[in-house]
Amino acid sequence: MQRQTAVALRNTRHLPGKSTAARAHPGCGQKSYAAGAWVDGTDGFDGRLYIASGHSDAATAERRALAACAAATKRPCVILAQVGNGVIQPYRLGDDNEQSATVETSARRAAQAAQVNCERQRQRCELQRSYDSRVAGDFVHEFNPASR
């Protein structure tokens, strides 16, 4: 059975007013938020991360991500990652393909942060598609697309 983990180099939970990955984007007067939600626990976990991106406030992004997850799975969901003016980087690590995500200010920095986390855990790392909070949309990220 695959395990899921929320381990990340940076805290992926949003603390109002204390987001470490929410630096001002040059030329942009307002932050744009993204949030990713997945099933809470392993019971009913579908291997997907439901992402709401491009919102003007964190609460809306979180609410939409949670609603998309709950509607698709009919299970309780939790926020895994939230970022303002940054990137959510999903990845798999280890032989069991544990799923995780980290947030950073750019795709390059997010990829580096995921790699560092995998190295710290002495696990192989598979970076997957990243999601920029400045790109509006609702996305469903499949951690294991080949198994479907």
Could you report the per-residue pLDDT of 94-148, keeping only the tens digit for each?
988 899 999 999 999 999 999 999 999 999 999 999 999 999 999 999 999 876 5
In one-letter notation, the amino acid at residue 20 is T
Average pLDDT (88-95) is 95
For residue 8, pLDDT beyond 80: no
DSSP class of residue 33 equals E
| Average pLDDT score over residue span 58-79 | 98
Per DSSP, the three-state class of 13 is coil
Contact 80, 51 (CB under 8 A): no
Question: Mean pLDDT, to the nearest integer, of 62-86?
Answer: 98
- Assess contact for 104 and 21: CB atoms under 8 A: yes
**Gap between the Cα atoms of 111 and 103, Å rounded:** 9
Q: Identify whether the C-beta of residue 143 lies closer than 8 Å to the C-beta of residue 49.
A: yes
Q: pLDDT tens-digit profile of 11-22?
A: 333 333 333 344
Record the tokens describing residue 126, joined without a space: 């598979």
